[in-house]
Amino acid sequence: MNILRRLEEQASAAICNTLGVTDAYADVRPTSDERFGDYQINGVLPLARQRRENPRGMAQLVAGKLELSDMCEPPEVAGPGFINLRLRNQWLEKRLGEDAVDQRAGVEPAQVAERVVVDYSSPNVAKAMHVGHLRSTIIGNALCRILRFLGHHVIGDNHLGDWGTQFGLLIVGYRRFADERSLALRPLEELERIYQQVVALADKDPSVAEEARGELRKLQAGDRENRGLWEKFVRITLEENEKIYRRLGVEFDEVLGESAYNERLPGVVEKLLRKGVARESQGAVCVFFDDDPELSEYPFIIQKSDGAFLYSTTDIATLEFRSEHFQPHRVLYVVDSRQSLHFRQFFEVARRMGYDMRLEHIGFGTILGPDGRPIRTREGRAVYLEDLLDEAERRAGEIIRDREDELGGETRRVASGVGIGAVIYADLSQNRLSDYRFDWDKMVSFDGNTGPYLQYALVRTRSLFRKLGVENWQPAGTPLQLEHASELALARDLARFSESFHRAGETFFPHLICDSLYRIARRFSQFWHDCPVLTAAGPLRESRLSLCRLTGAALAVGLQSLGIDTLERM
């Protein structure tokens, strides 16, 4: 059950019925201090300020109309007019007893299922994925998983950068500089080397730049040889990137590059001009935002004066395609926050064109090195994603080396699950809008708010049932017995897991799930220390086993929805 949603509904109804308003915002939040209860209703205060009435008196009236006696202790009015709510122990015992039999850990589907396109990862062809692609890939994958678990129909789309002027240069460079041996060993690094070498040459020799423009024109005209080389570059990129995606547990429903929309681009420009959304300016075609003070100085160029199209044109053509083929309610663009201006312009253009789906930019900050600057290698280049994942597995392998006898043939898999899970969790546990420092020692630690700490808590619940010899032990679904303070504390956080999951799915902030999982794991550790399970007797033993099973289910649901491997042993 989503407790927060029920409290918001009841509180809003009580405010409306008591204070005579038609649309009340109850503003229910978890309390910041457990001494004051579990939740707090704050919505009375702004109404009191508007009416210049006594907020405590108004809050008393609202508290008297709340229909929550089955769920909460009598509400308490505190401070200038807050209403504090505390969940009844008996209600928790019944609720969690029912959730314990649920593999979804009490997370119900969304009330309204939507079709959602998630545009994420989006690397460029002929370039190795580097650390700059990590956040889009990890965040986008997590959002796809979270939304699917909530019952939405999700289309994950990898919008490749596979078209443009760089391919003329790359074709020239490939013919001049390609090393077939290097291409077989590290194909994308070799293509990058070729590109950098030919760019440097073209900067010095205008004839090389002109040759590249000619090869590009031939490619765009369908020249068989150039088309064959371009397809080779795309194939190599897809094959190499797929190795990274498999390691990260990432799968796409669509992999459509910019080239897929190339034929639509002239029609996009024509449509924008016909609708009066765009107009010509100094030979170019632009959209102007004269009525928007924040965008008025930034025209959105659709076609350059030389006839060339831009990312803006492709984005509109892509939206046109998605509208026709997927009919989505929402499209999420998981792209770093530095592109916020582009998306504000693009979304306004889409609105003027009549698209009524919700378009949302899921921005994120930068991964920083220990020096607080964007993370780089010692040579100053971006860190390859393959190398970063290799290092994560190596470090995790060193940590679990002393457990090789226990893990047997699973050591390598465990090292991979722990290392890559640590990288994923270190990213997702941050508010995505913030920059964060990449700290190896912290992220692979088994202590604190880390992926390995959560994975180990899950392993501990599973090992308990292995000791019983009943790994598929099923609870009866009867009310629990929550006697110890550590049991009650764990129960409260388990009861709130569903609301955290839904909030993450509604706001697109995966760190909300991470926060909930970490609270559960810490509470479980204290419960494990304070409350014997296997040596408990009768109904208390069954209750504690149910609590362990529900803890394991919540950790498994949460980790899997974040894209993190769930392990049986560590």
Q: Pick from 334, 148, 250, 253: which is nearest to 565 by CA?
A: 250
Residue 41: per-residue pLDDT: 96
**Proportion of the chain above pLDDT 90, given as a percent:** 88
Q: Quick one: pLDDT band at residue 409, thresholds 50, 70, 90?
A: confident
Taking the C-alpha atoms of residue 537 and residue 539, their distance in angstroms, rounded to an integer, is 7
Cβ–Cβ under 8 Å, residues 116 and 154: yes
CA dist 509 to 94, 142, 157, 341, 554, Å?
30, 10, 19, 21, 18
Taking the C-alpha atoms of residue 568 and residue 570, their distance in angstroms, rounded to an integer, is 7
Q: Sign of the CA dihedral 397, 401, 407, 412?
A: positive
Q: Check pLDDT > 80 for residue 513.
A: yes
Instruction: Please give the average per-residue pLDDT across 108-125, as a whole number.
Output: 97
Q: Check pLDDT > 90 for residue 406.
A: no
CB atoms within 10 A of CB 483: 13
Residue 26: per-residue pLDDT: 92
Taking the C-alpha atoms of residue 423 and residue 416, their distance in angstroms, rounded to an integer, is 11
Residue 545: per-residue pLDDT: 96
Q: Pick from 340, 388, 389, 391: which is nearest to 361 by CA?
A: 340
Q: Quick one: pLDDT band at residue 145, thresholds 50, 70, 90?
A: very high
77-86 pLDDT, tens digit each: 999 999 999 9
28-52 pLDDT, tens digit each: 999 988 889 999 999 999 999 999 9
CB atoms within 10 A of CB 359: 18
Helix orientation angle between 265-274 and 340-353, rounded to the nearest 10 degrees:
60
Taking the C-alpha atoms of residue 400 and residue 418, their distance in angstroms, rounded to an integer, is 9
**Proportion of the chain above pLDDT 70, given as a percent:** 99
Taking the C-alpha atoms of residue 86 and residue 89, their distance in angstroms, rounded to an integer, is 9
Give me the long-range contacts of 335-340 (CB less than 8 A, separation at least 24).
335/119, 335/122, 335/136, 335/361, 335/362, 335/363, 336/132, 336/135, 336/136, 336/363, 336/364, 336/365, 336/366, 337/363, 337/364, 337/365, 337/433, 339/363
Instruction: Please give the average per-residue pLDDT across 333-360, as a whole number.
Output: 97
Q: Quick one: pLDDT band at residue 521, thresholds 50, 70, 90?
A: very high
Residue 32: per-residue pLDDT: 87
358-397 pLDDT, tens digit each: 999 999 999 998 888 888 877 677 899 999 999 999 999 9
Taking the C-alpha atoms of residue 121 and residue 129, their distance in angstroms, rounded to an integer, is 9
Tokens 């794991």 sit on residue: 521
Q: Which of 151-165, 191-205, 283-297, 465-479 has the lowest mean pLDDT?
A: 465-479
Q: Pick from 511, 345, 332: which is nearest to 432 by CA?
A: 511
Residue 493: per-residue pLDDT: 96
Q: Which helix (H) or strand (E) holds 343?
A: helix 340-353
Q: Quick one: pLDDT band at residue 411, thresholds 50, 70, 90?
A: confident
Residue 20: per-residue pLDDT: 86
Residue 397: per-residue pLDDT: 92
DSSP 31: -
CA dist 120 to 144, 403, 431, Å?
10, 37, 18
Taking the C-alpha atoms of residue 494 and residue 446, their distance in angstroms, rounded to an integer, is 22
Residue 509: per-residue pLDDT: 98
Residue 515 burial by CB count (10 A; 0-12/13-18/19+): exposed, middle or buried? middle
Cβ–Cβ under 8 Å, residues 104 and 553: yes
Q: Check pLDDT > 90 for residue 471.
A: no
Q: Check pLDDT > 80 for residue 242.
A: yes
Work out the mean pLDDT of the chain and round it to a whole number.
Answer: 94
Residue 400: per-residue pLDDT: 86
Q: Check pLDDT > 80 for residue 279.
A: yes
Q: Check pLDDT > 80 for residue 288.
A: yes
Instruction: Please give the average per-residue pLDDT across 12-29, as a whole number.
Output: 91
Residue 371: per-residue pLDDT: 86
Residue 34: per-residue pLDDT: 86
Query: Hey, what are 534's tokens?
Result: 């296997």
442-456 pLDDT, tens digit each: 999 999 999 999 999
Q: Check pLDDT > 90 for residue 405.
A: no
Taking the C-alpha atoms of residue 333 and residue 355, their distance in angstroms, rounded to an integer, is 16
Prediction pTM value: 0.94
Tokens 């590009």 sit on residue: 216
CA torsion 246→559→113→252, rounded to 10°? Answer: -10
Instruction: Please give the average per-residue pLDDT across 299-325, as a whole number.
Output: 95
Helix orientation angle between 44-51 and 3-19, rounded to the nearest 10 degrees:
20
Region of residue 53 (phi > 0: left; psi between -120 and 50: alpha; otherwise: beta):
beta
Instruction: Please give the average per-residue pLDDT across 283-288, as a whole number.
Output: 96
